[in-house]
Structure 1
């Protein structure tokens, strides 16, 4: 079968022929139908040599498809079920420590499967398993966004667009910091109050940096030079949730974090995925995404790296 793999040495992802996976006792094999492309895939190629247990590694951690084989200990699922896969669940992370879904078939633990409801497009189902789950968990479960809160979202990309909309649905007053002004109309249409280019603008009225700004909650989906800006803008007693991994390290001015909470949010749960599925099926969350063919995954990752993508890229396989 075909598989897009990172081979090591910082080389671009390569399309190879590999053996089809066989299910372990608690695994199913999924015929992949859609796979989202993520900035984390690029990060994995930049850091993978030191941490991946073996190379080449099939990448792709945002997947949906149809079960085609079942292990002996699997319960609750059967061949033909349409599922998405939680890449941050029981099984080691897909595409980083175990083969992912940039391939015709994928082996996944049945406890990491989210049932795709009838009528939900598989591109949406795929991106919901990471961009949806991760952004939703960070802002709703970890951050606790709710009615009456002033919430900031840094980065209105594949994750930020879903997180911002989830907070709007929760009744929060949502503000977005996003450098790409061409996506501002999308943010406003999603119910965001306003947009700025730089989160620094949220802290312009801060007289005492130790006291902070006016935000109850800020979720940073970027992770470049943005974390300190979030800390500056959140008020005393407020929370910053870090999701984005744009840079491998960050520096914070110690006094500015006092009296505030900084949380790192990673992934989420199958329940989070299924809640996002439901919101998508009902049309409450309608993320912007672009479909590409399987053969263009390598070029698609280059587009992501060069910041040439609005929303999410999703590779569609043969249905």
Structure 2
């Protein structure tokens, strides 16, 4: 079968032929139908050698498809079920530490499966398993965005657009900081109070919560925006491997990191997508375009999410 694989630092992702997988106990094989492209794929192409347990590694951690084989001991699932795959911590993350979904088939732990509701487009189902789960979990389950809160979202990309809309639906007053002005109208359509280019404009404005989906020079700006005593910064984005924060600025404020989420988070996002309460921007590409798509991401040419469609 075909698989897009990371072969080592400094090398572009390569399209290779690999053996088809078989399921072990507690596992299923999924015929992949859609797989989202993420900046984390690029990050692991920069730091993966020495971090990944083996090379080459089939990438792709944002996947949806159809179960085609079931291993011993799997209950509640059958061949033909349409599923998304959650990197919930049950097993090492797909595409980084175990083979992922930039391939015709992948093996997943049955405990990581989220049931895709009938009628939901599989591109949306795929992006919900990471961009949806991660952004929603950070905003709703970790940040506890709710009615009456003043909430800031840094970065209106694949994650930020979903986190923003989730906060709006929760009843919060939502503000967005995004350097790419071409997506400002999308943010306004999602129901935000305003959009600024740089989160430094929020300094001293007493936000209850800021979720940083970027993680470049942004975290200090998030800290400066939240109120002392009750303000919270949720860090999601890892645009830089390290960043500094002025020590005195964190006193009386909470900074917490949010990583991934749960199958329940994914299924809640599935419901919001199906009801069109959240309508993220995304672009479908062909399986053969994954390598070129990652380069588009690297050059910051993508609004929303790229999703590879294949195997239909």
Q: TM-score, normalised by structure 1?
A: 0.97
Deviations 1:30-82 (A, max 9, x none): 00000000000000100101210000000000000000000001111000000
Alpha-carbon distance between aligned partners in 2 of 1:176 and 1:34, rounded to the nearest angstrom: 29
Alpha-carbon distance between aligned partners in 2 of 1:22 and 1:92, rounded to the nearest angstrom: 18
Residue 287 of structure 2 is aligned to residue 294 of structure 1: yes
Aligned pairs for 1:139-158 within 5 A:
139-158=139-158
User: Aligned residue for 2:259?
Assistant: 266
1:318 to partner: Cα distance: 2.5
Deviations 1:221-260 (A, max 9, x none): 0001000000011111210000001000010100100110
Q: Secondary structure at the match of 2:33?
A: strand
1:24 to partner: Cα distance: 1.0
Aligned pairs for 1:265-284 within 5 A:
265-284=258-277
Deviations 1:63-110 (A, max 9, x none): 000000000011110000000000233111011110000000000000
1:251 is aligned, of 244, 254, 264, to 244
Alpha-carbon distance between aligned partners in 1 of 2:226 and 2:10, rounded to the nearest angstrom: 38
Aligned pairs for 1:150-299 within 5 A:
150-203=150-203, 206=204, 213-236=205-228, 237-299=230-292
User: Aligned residue for 1:62?
Assistant: 62
Q: Secondary structure at the match of 1:215?
A: coil
Q: Are the equivalent residues in 1 in contact too, given 2:136–2:162 (CA < 8 A)?
A: yes
1:117 to partner: Cα distance: 0.1
Q: Secondary structure at the match of 2:290?
A: helix
Q: TM-score, normalised by structure 2?
A: 0.99
Alpha-carbon distance between aligned partners in 2 of 1:137 and 1:10, rounded to the nearest angstrom: 33
1:3 to partner: Cα distance: 0.2
1:121 to partner: Cα distance: 0.2
CA RMSD of aligned residues (A): 0.6
Residue 88 of structure 2 is aligned to residue 88 of structure 1: yes
Q: Are the equivalent residues in 1 in contact too, given 2:281–2:304 (CA < 8 A)?
A: yes
Q: Are the equivalent residues in 1 in contact too, given 2:31–2:311 (CA < 8 A)?
A: no
Q: Are the equivalent residues in 1 in contact too, given 2:104–2:311 (CA < 8 A)?
A: no
Alpha-carbon distance between aligned partners in 2 of 1:253 and 1:262, rounded to the nearest angstrom: 13
Alpha-carbon distance between aligned partners in 1 of 2:98 and 2:139, rounded to the nearest angstrom: 28
User: Aligned residue for 1:52?
Assistant: 52
Alpha-carbon distance between aligned partners in 2 of 1:9 and 1:164, rounded to the nearest angstrom: 34
User: Aligned residue for 1:24?
Assistant: 24
